[in-house]
Structure 1
Amino acid sequence: MKRSDEGVVRNPEPSLLRSLMTEHLDPGYAASARAREHGKRKSTPTSASLWLIVGALLTGFVLCTAYLQAVEQVPGTNHVRSDLLSKVEDVEADIDALTGERDALAGDVDAARSEALAGDGSGLLEQLHGVEVTAGAEAVHGPGLVVTLTDPVAPPDLSDSSQRSVGGRAVVLDRDLQSVVNAMWASGAEAIAINDVRVGPGVTVRQAGGAMLVDNQPVFSPYAVSAIGPQSDMQTKFVVSDAYLRLTSVQQLYGIDFSVAESDDLSLPAATIREIRVAREGGS
């Protein structure tokens, strides 16, 4: 029996492939051409202009609404800001008053102690005085050096943003001040203060956010590191220290203002003395 293959289509050609080979234009072009032949247009200049005007009106309405809301919020924001500033000023006034009262009471305690130990022949009063001077518990004055570090007026263009702050924030870092303080101690300084904050035992110099804190008190640029001690000897040792070389490099790279000056009479305040709760007698 012979099988007939008539009417059987072998390897049919797909319609998509046929359309790609024969139709070189997208069907949309043909439809648009037919519409133009019949005088039809999808949109007229009048309708396009109308939609443009409607869009502009909607945009203007949204912008006006946002502006009115912002204007309504401004008085409330200014009021809150004024209240916060007033509270900050009140707290600062209270702190100043308490600080003055503390200093007055400390003076009374010192006077009473001196009167009580005036007739003591063991030299205890002199020993206490020496310990207080070493701990920075007394205000001192004398000749010394002043190292001043000032942030640049304009923020520098820095590539190593992980090392130095940018965008108007401080360029002088806490480790810069720490290196200066350590170099001053190594150069023979007897007392040191940063912007009238005495550096004593347990005092830290660190950054918190964008603020520079010395003994948890904020200080601002320019940072003046004042050190009392032998001027010539201190200056000779400081200019060959690692801190001086570090600050010279920072000055050249980031544009900070860095200077070292002598002063014949520096006045440094007393350091804050922490309350001693536990003490142990040291071995001989």
Structure 2
Amino acid sequence: MPDPTDRVNTPLLTLITQQSLDEDYQLVAERRAAENGGTPPHPRPARIAAVVVAAFGLLVTVAAVQTSANEGVQSASRQSLIGQIDASKNDVAHLQRRIVRLREHNLALQSQLDAVTSAQQDAATRNERLAGGSGFGPVSGPGVRITVDDSPTGERVVDRDLRPLVNGLWNAGAEAIAINGQRLTSRSAIRNSSAAIQVNSRPLSPPYVVQAIGDPLTLEANLMQTTGGLLFRDIATTLGYPWDMDTVDDLSLPAAPARLLRLSHAVEGTAEQNLHSLNSEKSEQKMEAQQ
């Protein structure tokens, strides 16, 4: 009878194999004994048992090899995943640094855009102011309106009658002047063509409405203190021109024709020289108007 201690210490796989082989061997031996009249079993079952043990060992070996291979694949997959995770972390860190650089770049561009926008607004305001002052932009505001008509006796208003009035308004502080909707600029001329007065090469018909934007409280009073204003009043009184002057809270003067901006010729010289020449020309025009 086998020792129970040996059975306990025997590995489970070995114990199962031995027990299975012993039972198979005993079964085959008993069957052979019954067939041979109780003769002892032939030693052939021992060879069969050896074959079975070898086959079982082969299966165990194949299973062990497969398990080892699977462990290798799993280990390789784990290393691959770790590598992918590390690469992804590096990519994320690179993208985060790039985001920081792009944000800084955007802030710099925004600052530049704000500066350009501010400069553009300043330029637009300056251009609007220059256009209004030069007569090539529409303007509106309070001022005075003077209406002059031909004399009932048949005396007609001519260009030399309106020039002193316009010069007087400029000297009285007018910021913009228009006659019958024709805006006056540094290139505008008040001249007679046949029986009609022309301004900006456009014929006008009476009554002549002279609109001047400026401080209405001082513009009306200052006009009659200028040489031009006094001369116009004397001419109107002498020739019998009906005229009146009203203060207006809101006047709207159009821009001068754009064709006046096209120069037919240019004069060589610096800005200071040209400004001096322009001032001299204006002085000569005023003297001519007073004569």
Relative to the length of structure 2, the TM-score reads 0.48
Tell me which protein shows more helix as a share of its residues. 2
Which one scores higher on RCO, CA 8 angstroms, separation ≥ 6?
Answer: 1
Relative to the length of structure 1, the TM-score reads 0.49
